[in-house]
Amino acid sequence: MSYGSPRGLPIVDAKTPPVLVLRGPLLARDEVQGPCEVVQALLDGSGTVVVCDVGGLGPPGLAAVNLLARLQLAARRAGGRIRLRDPDPALCSLLDLVGLRFEVEGQPEQREPALGVEEAVEPGDPAV
């Protein structure tokens, strides 16, 4: 039996993750359920990642931390995760301060080394 490859470009089944745009003013504690339901619905239809565009949230504070923590919890319950797009550096610092870790677009994951970076061993370094 022989098989000939089809002509043209191969079909790539690459999906771009859905984007949830978050804008200020931030929601009150009892209004967070709506965006959490949106994240769960997006994960049910698309895969494992929802990108949250947080560039328009305004000044970072505990309301932003609360919203993002609840969105991440909703995403994990649905079997996925969220990735932040365009976060304010102060928001990243505040999230680190409270112990919440998020993927950020354009940054390598913590498990992966940055591209083009190699560790060098100096002649006098002890073996680990």
Q: Is the peptide bond before 25 cis (omega within 30 degrees of 0)?
A: yes
What does the CA dihedral 61, 63, 67, 69 come to, rounded to 10 degrees? Answer: 60
Alpha-carbon gap, residue 50 to 80, rounded angstroms: 8
Are the beta carbons of 105 and 51 closer than 8 angstroms?
yes
In a domain, 115, yes or no: no
Number of domains in the chain: 1
The domain that holds 37 is classified in CATH as 3.30.750.24
Helix or strand holding residue 75 (H, E): helix 62-77
- Name the residue range of residue 26's domain: 19-104
1-5, 8-12, 75-79, 116-120 — which is least confidently predicted? 1-5
pLDDT (0 to 100) of residue 95? 93
**Residue 26 falls within a domain, yes or no?**
yes
pLDDT at 13: 47
Q: What is the mean pLDDT of residues 74-83?
A: 91
Is position 61 within any domain?
yes
pLDDT of residue 7: 56
Q: Is residue 28 part of a domain?
A: yes
Type of residue at 45: G
